[in-house]
Structure 1
């Protein structure tokens, strides 16, 4: 019991620090919590200082993955903004529909759904949220909408990585893994009837939602019907293809005002928003190129994914404190850090930072005819925005590393097992919550599945619950945990220029997350 209390107290303290009236900013609260957990590991759990130091190095370096993605997303966002392309995109979207709900569903739901299917890594919010802010929506409200909307497709994000990779170490036959994906898709699809509506409430009022409810549901189902159908026989493409179909249908529905509240516009306004095709295409080219590169580098069958993940050794050096490995695909890896089994790796070409964000920005500079002054402004804006989030992310990832030290007796495992022992056969109603807890800590549905998949499998066997159903709930939990995931909140806040609102966001996004878990539990009873 004392082990459980020692494991839980730092997390409760972190939540309190970030959600109290005068909340501490994440770049203070997260490093402070990491320090506290480190002290507890040293003094109470008896962890060696050498192992703690190794995890500090690994955790700090792990921040390079999210911060490089954030930096790339901000660079692209500022490039589109400074060059004027963002204004053109805004005018084009307004030409499709001036209806706010229509714009939010096209970009915040369907477009983000497709991007999640192609890439994951928090890129949907990074790409979609700035477009919505460019349309005149409040940045803080858009951040919350983006976080809540980006939950349904996540189990099949980055071409199914949370499913086939996150649960791939459990030794499941392919047919069972497919069944887990199928069950999680059904749970997500039922939740999708309500969750996007709640997300919209962060930005527009209930009257607007009611007046456009038919369009909202048509847009939702245009993504989820192909999504849940594809999941019956494939766990890689449901979100990608479902999102692409949904985006196309949502644009067509909005174009012909199907299910949307009628809005009167003058002839002059219509002419003002009608732009020549070549102007729109040029402004959209960086975003279209980004999507194209994401798709061709994520689909295994095209071959590029394998090349970008090629682990064939190229170079090996002993740095004294660790062994440095460099692969053919420029994967940088440190192993045996400070003589421990702690390691760190960065997939230089596969993490969506250099490819596609930085690459697209380099192509966009001449394409959009940007001058040196504009380029300097873009770089300066990006550098100024990533300083504070970098500190927060370093704190968050060191905290996660400390929570996972100890294997079966680590604080994070102790917490998960304690909940399972307490709840027993009623675990089915809480399984998704453990998945969400993993995403909250790690910032990734994939890591949540890797961390807690084995626990969920063991609990299912021990208490006699259907294994595939419990694993599906773990997958759903990891996806819905995106709403309160600290990494994602910091990322979208940074990209939108929001400061010190992480606690405020968590207090509001936790409500739809809890509702999501309830829906998943109810659906699991019937399936």
Structure 2
């Protein structure tokens, strides 16, 4: 009981610090929490100080991955804004429909759905959220909408990585893995009836949602129906294909006005000059390039993914007690045996979506839009200024995560998960999704949540006599819905949109749809 209390207390204090009135900024709260967990590991759990320090080093280095993605996304956003492309896209989208619900569903739901299917890594919010802000929506409200919307496709995001890789260490055959994917997709399909309206409510009134609900429903189902159908025989492409189909159908439906209540602003749009097709294409070129590059580099059948993730060692050197450093043929930087322990760190330079596609697209776009040197300098300067405090926050978050996971079966995070299972017994299915969400909250990744908690979920299912595939599906759904409250994601989208010190405010509001999502998942598990 003492171990459980001490495992949970740092997280309780973290949530209190960030959500209380005049909350503590994340770049202060997270390093404080990391220090608390480190002290507990040292003085209560008796973890070797060398192992603690190794995990601190690994946590600091691990922050390079999310911060480089965020930096790339901000740089692209600044380029699109300063080049004037954002204004062209805004006028074009208003030409499709000036109805706010339609714009939010097209960009915040269907477009983000497709991007999640191609890439994951937080890129949907990084790309979609700035477009919505450019349309005149409040950045803070857009951040919350983006976090909640980006949940349904996540289990099959990044070409199915959370499913096929997240459960890769469980010894499942392809039939069991596919069955897990089918149940996961079914639960998400049902949850999608309530998630978009709850997300929309952050920006528009319930009355506005109700009046345009037919369009909301069509846009939702245009993504989730093909997503569910494809999941019956494949666990790599449901989100990518579902999002692409949904985006096309949502745009067509919005153009026709089907299910949308005409507003004064949409009446005014008939008098405005249409945007020339070539201007729209030029303005959309960076986004189109981004999507194409993501798809080509993520789908293994094209052969490029293997090149970008080739771990064949090209160069290595010993840094003495610090560890062994190596560089692979795909420029994967790796530090192994940190401080003589089994702790290691790696950064996939060409695969993490920072240099490719974000920086690459920016470099292609500079001559395309004929940007002067002063504007290019401004882009990079603004990007650098925005990522200073978030970098500190992410270092704190990732050190905390590493230390929470230190100790194997006796680690604080596993102690917490095991306590949940002991408490619930055969009723475990009602809370299984929340354990998955807890993993995503800590790690910032549905894939890492599945890797971390997949084994304990499988063990619990066997011990209490519940179907493995159902419990693992609930874990997968939980990892996806945990994106709504994940600290890393909140910091990332806030940074991209220029929002400061609102992480606690966001968590307090996005936790509500997350809890509702979990209730829906629990109900569905009893019916399957």
Aligned to 1:53: 53
1:350-429 to 2 correspondences below 5 Å: 350-429=351-430
8 Å Cα contact 1:92-1:273 kept in structure 2: no
Call closer, same or farther: CA 1:268–1:213 in 2, change over 3 Å. Answer: closer
For residues 265 and 74 of structure 2, the distance between their equivalents in structure 1, rounded to whole angstroms, comes to 34
Report the CA distance between 1:47 and its aligned residue: 1.1
For residues 163 and 76 of structure 1, the distance between their equivalents in structure 2, rounded to whole angstroms, comes to 29
Aligned to 1:112: 112
Instruction: Give SS of 1:120's match.
Output: coil
For residues 324 and 266 of structure 1, the distance between their equivalents in structure 2, rounded to whole angstroms, comes to 59
Report the CA distance between 1:356 and its aligned residue: 0.1
Instruction: Give SS of 2:152's match.
Output: coil
Instruction: Give SS of 2:272's match.
Output: helix
Instruction: Give a deviation string over 1:473-513, Cα, whole Å, max 9, x none.
Output: 00000000000000000000000000000000000000000
Report the CA distance between 1:265 and its aligned residue: 5.9
Aligned to 1:13: 13
- Greater shift in the superposed pair: 127-136 or 374-383: 374-383
Report the CA distance between 1:212 and its aligned residue: 0.3
For residues 370 and 492 of structure 2, the distance between their equivalents in structure 1, rounded to whole angstroms, comes to 28
8 Å Cα contact 2:214-2:260 kept in structure 1: yes
Instruction: Give SS of 2:236's match.
Output: coil
Report the CA distance between 1:271 and its aligned residue: 5.0
Instruction: Give a deviation string over 1:15-59, Cα, whole Å, max 9, x none.
Output: 111111120000000000000110111111111111111111100
Aligned to 1:430: 431
For residues 5 and 524 of structure 1, the distance between their equivalents in structure 2, rounded to whole angstroms, comes to 29
8 Å Cα contact 1:75-1:361 kept in structure 2: yes
For residues 231 and 364 of structure 2, the distance between their equivalents in structure 1, rounded to whole angstroms, comes to 36
Instruction: Give a deviation string over 1:340-388, Cα, whole Å, max 9, x none.
Output: 1110000000000000000000001111111011111111110010000
TM-score (norm 1): 0.99
1:77-476 to 2 correspondences below 5 Å: 77-264=77-264, 269-270=269-270, 272-320=272-320, 321-476=322-477
Unaligned runs of 5+ in 1: none
Call closer, same or farther: CA 1:266–1:506 in 2, change over 3 Å. Answer: closer
For residues 380 and 266 of structure 1, the distance between their equivalents in structure 2, rounded to whole angstroms, comes to 38
Aligned to 1:525: 526
Instruction: Give SS of 1:281's match.
Output: helix
For residues 158 and 75 of structure 2, the distance between their equivalents in structure 1, rounded to whole angstroms, comes to 21
Instruction: Give SS of 2:130's match.
Output: helix
Report the CA distance between 1:273 and its aligned residue: 4.4
Report the CA distance between 1:270 and its aligned residue: 3.0
How large is the Cα RMSD of the aligned pairs? 0.9
Instruction: Give a deviation string over 1:161-198, Cα, whole Å, max 9, x none.
Output: 00000011100000100000010000000000001100
8 Å Cα contact 1:324-1:335 kept in structure 2: yes
Instruction: Give a deviation string over 1:187-234, Cα, whole Å, max 9, x none.
Output: 000000001100000000111101100000000000000000000000
Instruction: Give SS of 1:250's match.
Output: helix
8 Å Cα contact 2:97-2:266 kept in structure 1: no
For residues 448 and 268 of structure 2, the distance between their equivalents in structure 1, rounded to whole angstroms, comes to 52
For residues 38 and 499 of structure 2, the distance between their equivalents in structure 1, rounded to whole angstroms, comes to 30
Instruction: Give a deviation string over 1:309-361, Cα, whole Å, max 9, x none.
Output: 11111011101211011111011110000111110000000000000000000
Aligned to 1:488: 489
For residues 383 and 3 of structure 2, the distance between their equivalents in structure 1, rounded to whole angstroms, comes to 43
For residues 361 and 283 of structure 2, the distance between their equivalents in structure 1, rounded to whole angstroms, comes to 13
TM-score (norm 2): 0.99
